[in-house]
Amino acid sequence: MKFGYVSWLPQTELVSKFIEELKNKRLMGTQCKQCAAKYLPPRAHCKCGSHEMEWFEAPKTGKILTYTLVTFGPESMAKYAPYIIAVAELDDGSRLLAHITGVTPKTLKVDMRVQVVSHHVTEDRIVYKFRPTE
Amino acid sequence: MTQKIGVIGIGHAKFGKRKDATIRELAHEAVKPALEDAGITTTDIDAAVIGVAGDEFAAQGSSGALIHDYIGMKNKPMFRVEAACATGSAGIRAAWSLIKAGLAETVLVVGAETMTQVGSPKATELMAKAGDTRWEYPFGITFPGFYALMATAHMHEYGTTREQLSMVSVKNHKYGVLNPYAHLQREVSLEEAVKSLTICHPLNLYDCCLISDGAAAVILANEEKAKKLCDTPVWITGLGSASDTMMISERQTLTSLTATRLAAEKAYRMARVSPDDIDVAVVHDCFTIAEIMAYEDLGFCKKGEGGKFIEEGQSYIGGERPVNMDGGLKAKGHPLGATGVSMTVEITRQLRGEANKRQVSGAEIGLSHNVGETGQYCFVHIYAR
Ligand SMILES: [Zn+2]
């Protein structure tokens, strides 16, 4: 299983673990044991230089900070266009960029409450995406 | 006494869809007039810094080596710099540092890029790959997409309007007509700009810079050489640079480029000037929202009032702070590696009083502002006559 609509980077242990959890509908980040910095999506190393990281489960609800409707995407994404990309702030303050579905550009608003859900793009590709709550 | 460092020669290739030339010929087209302008030959140049942002556009690896040899600099020191869309300004900063360090007295900076041969979908793809390829690129976020996210946030937070975004485009097209080296030489009406094709909502076609081929060249020299070789050196009196997170989702703010604010602070302090002292500026308008944020982040107006600033015409000639008299990235074009060098060319012209119909009369202090990607890099240079 790979992460993303498109991607080519080799799978690291970190990403494999993240994907496994995402398949089970859990959104996992990493936290530094040294300085407590939290990362979502996860990182193997902290920006403080530490590699002592532990997993934490991030909340799956938050609100939209901003969004765009991508009409002309990169060549590799042509078959998915148009799509809406949003940045949301989750309830623990983490920020995530992903597609949002279940809305139209007209109904979508900044500050709208959303939930993060796992989404199988194809048989071998998975992503997280936003959907309006309720 | 510490030596000043100045611009003694400038050259600019025609920006545009250049089917007649590859990156080497474009570099020549910029370097030749720069040498003539300085009244010297390559024998008088100690070293070169070459800025090319991406090898994939030109389908040429080590473009620096290619250009260096093509322009007749064989056996002289050279390295290439890369800072995405701010590559050219990184080159100016590196050349300035070489001279300051005493490793060279005269340095040639060449910025060049050929982007049109790959076609728009491919160019969009290549630029998208400059984002975080693990966590953001896999969602198909594009370069216009990132700035569209900032535009939505800015419009929401400060009430910046669709019309105000388009007003930036109208201004830059108006001045682009007066720049013989600009890619697009056509005025656009506000109505036309507002109604153009949506690329990434809320940004439309006229909010986005062009994909262009082009090159620009600048020769820098230390004070002693500059005074000997040049009657009208333009001094670089302040340099500031800063950076930011790779992922846009990690940014603390989406309505401001922190790297711009930090770089500007450093440049103003070094040059001992304030935003009010700037007579003419070129800022990084890869998208109209970027120019509006630049007004604010460079201190030309208060945070959130960038929309009002353009609406009041303050960035036109005759306004409080004329911006992008060369047409900006919007009309002049944005061949990545060339852009920053082209900015130094324009400010030098303005401070020499050689900008013809787009001249800001009596300009003595200038500023250039060049952003790499979505604020991962920023360079601000301040210039004085
Ligand atoms: Zn840490």
In chain B the first and final C-alpha atoms are separated, in Å, by 19
Instruction: State whether residue A30 is helix, strand or coil.
Output: strand
Please tell me the pTM assigned to this model.
Answer: 0.97
Tokens of A37: 């910095």
Given a cut of 60, is residue A73 above it in pLDDT?
A: yes
Select which of B68, B85, B200, B284 is catalytic: B85
Q: What is the mean pLDDT of chain A?
A: 96
pLDDT at A109: 95
Catalytically annotated residue among B183, B334, B369, B381: B334
Q: Which residue has the tokens 């030109």?
A: B58
The CATH superfamily label for domain B5-118+212-234 reads Thiolase/Chalcone synthase (3.40.47.10)
Q: What is the DSSP string of B251-263?
A: -S-SSS-HHHHHH
Residues with Cβ within 8 Å of B330's Cβ and at least 6 positions away in sequence, in order, are B168, B169, B172, B173, B176, B206, B208, B209, B210, B285, B288, B324
Inter-chain contact B121–A78, Cβ cutoff 8 Å?
yes
Q: How far is the CA of A55 from the centre of ligand 1 (A)?
A: 13
- What is the per-residue pLDDT across B297-329, written as a single tens digit (0 to 9) for each? 999 999 999 999 999 999 999 999 999 999 999
**Looking at domain B131-208+236-384, what is its CATH homologous superfamily?**
Thiolase/Chalcone synthase (3.40.47.10)
CA distance A48 to chain B (A): 14
A17 burial via Cβ count (<10 Å: 0-12, 13-18, 19+): middle
Which residues in chain A touch residue B198, judged by CB atoms under 8 angstroms apart?
A: 69, 71
Residues forming a β-bridge with B93: none
Ramachandran area for residue B327 (φ above 0: left; ψ -120 to 50: alpha; else beta): left
Rounded to the nearest angstrom, the minimum Cα separation between B258 and chain A is 17
Confidence of residue B382 (pLDDT cuts 50, 70, 90): very high
Instruction: Report the distance separating Cα B201 and Cα A83, nearest Å.
Output: 11
B84-109 residues labelled b (16+ CB within 10 A) or e (exposed): bbbbbbbbbbbbbebbeeeebbbbbb
Examine the residue annotation and report whether B156 is marked as an active-site residue of this protein.
Answer: no
Tell me what pLDDT residue B318 has: 97
User: Facing residues of B200 across strands?
Assistant: A70, B203
Residues found in chain B:
385
pLDDT at B293 over 80: yes
- B257 has a pLDDT exceeding 80: yes
Give the residue range(s) of CATH 3.40.47.10 domains in chain B. Answer: 5-118+212-234, 131-208+236-384
- Tally of CB atoms within 10 A around B158: 18
Please report the pLDDT score of residue B3 as a whole number. 86
Can you tell me the distance from the alpha carbon of B226 to that of B348, in angstroms, rounded to the nearest whole number? 14
Tell me which amino acid residue B295 is.
Y
Specify the residue for token string 């989404």: A119
Question: What residues have CB less than 8 Å from B307, skipping those under 6 apart?
Answer: B158, B159, B160, B161, B164, B165, B292
Q: Is the peptide bond before B202 cis (omega within 30 degrees of 0)?
A: yes
Strand partners, B201: A69
Query: Do residues B303 and B264 touch, judged by C-beta distance below 8 A?
Result: no
**Residue A23 main-chain phi, psi, to 5 deg:** -60, -35
Residue of chain B with shortest Cα separation from A86: B149
Q: Tokens for B264? A: 């500007």
Residue-range domains of chain A with CATH:
2-132 (2.40.50.840)
pLDDT at B347 over 70: yes
Of residues B227, B216, B213, B219, the one with CA closest to residue B36: B219
Mean predicted confidence (pLDDT) in B101-130: 93
Confidence at residue B119, expressed as pLDDT on a 0 to 100 scale: 85
Distance CA B96, CA B99 (A): 5
Please indicate if any CB of chain A lies within 8 Å of the CB of B132. no
> Among A5, A71, A98, whose Cβ lies nearest the Cβ of B198?
A71
Cβ atoms of A2 and A9 within 8 Å: the answer is no
Comparing CB atoms, the residue among A5, A8, A15 nearest residue B140 is: A5
* B201 assigned to active site: no
Cβ pair A98:B142 closer than 8 A: no
Q: Is residue B1 predicted with pLDDT exceeding 70?
A: no
